[in-house]
Amino acid sequence: MFEKFKPYGDRVLVKRLEEQEKTTGGIFIPEAAKEKAQQGAVVAVGTGRIDSTTGKIHQIPLKIGDVVYFGKYAGTDAGRDHLIVREDEILGIVEK
């Protein structure tokens, strides 16, 4: 669905990463009780935010493949496992 999708402006297309299906104690969590993941891999990045005073474009410091953490209610759902978020809704990059 998103093979050729280019986010506009300061938006980023993120593919949610799956949460663990069982707890550390070995209990499996049913699908209905799971919360949506707050981590995702960057799939596509927009051109950046336009500065209203100077008109210059501030590029987004993310690249495809970065794993990011975002707020629980951030972005707009785009399909089952994709999310379109603004740059300022991304809380940080998850380093391995």
42-59 pLDDT, tens per residue?
A: 999 999 988 889 989 999
Location of structure tokens 């391995």: 96
Domains and CATH numbers, the chain: 1-17+35-96 (2.30.33.40)
Confidence class of residue 62 from pLDDT cuts 50, 70 and 90? very high
Q: Tens of pLDDT along 15-43? A: 988 765 655 666 666 655 556 778 999 99
Q: What is the pTM of this model?
A: 0.77
**The CA-based dihedral angle spanning residues 60, 36, 67, 49, taken in that order and rounded to the nearest 10 degrees:** 0
Closest CA to 12 of 71, 73, 60: 60
SS (H, E, C) 9-57: CCEEEEEECCCCCECCCCCECCHHHCCCCCEEEEEEECCCEECCCCCCE
